[in-house]
Amino acid sequence: MNWAGAMPLAGLTGGLLIGLAGAIMLLGLGRIAGVSGLVARATGIAPGGTPWPIASALIIGLPVGAWLIALVAGSVTTRFPPSMTVLVLGGLIVGFGTRMGSGCTSGHGVCGLSRLSPRSIAATASFMVAGFATVALMRVLGVSW
């Protein structure tokens, strides 16, 4: 573990902003701020839900907000798998899972848990267990990038 590179204040600030955005969307529009549902609505995959202009604005705002933060605070070091095939396959599996589970970590983990939704509690527990198992398996197999 690289504790020297840990940034707890940045993580706390990001978490508070995500929670605030979720609360504003729920209280202001009565809608859940789940990113997979917003992407589905913005791209036309899902016909109902959040109004299209709001879903599109939020989806466009994600990379624009990251770009603005990078301008102000400096660039962020990112690491991706060395293979584009692995990256695309992982994205497709995640996309399939979010449609199958009726939501993603932001919808279930942030918004659903705060509403004590039993479905979101079960979904978030399964996300976490799958993540722990994946990391453990990768460490056992010596896989890293």
Q: Decide: 77 and 60 in contact? Cβ < 8 Å.
A: no
Instruction: Give alpha helix (H) positions in the chain.
Output: 8-29, 35-43, 52-73, 84-100, 113-114, 118-141
pLDDT of residue 133: 95
pLDDT in single tens digits along all 145 residues of the chain: 666 777 788 888 888 988 898 888 888 888 888 888 888 889 888 888 788 998 899 889 988 988 898 898 887 777 777 788 988 998 888 888 888 888 887 788 888 888 899 999 999 999 899 889 999 999 999 887 6
User: What pLDDT shows up at residue 1?
Assistant: 61
DSSP designation for 4: G
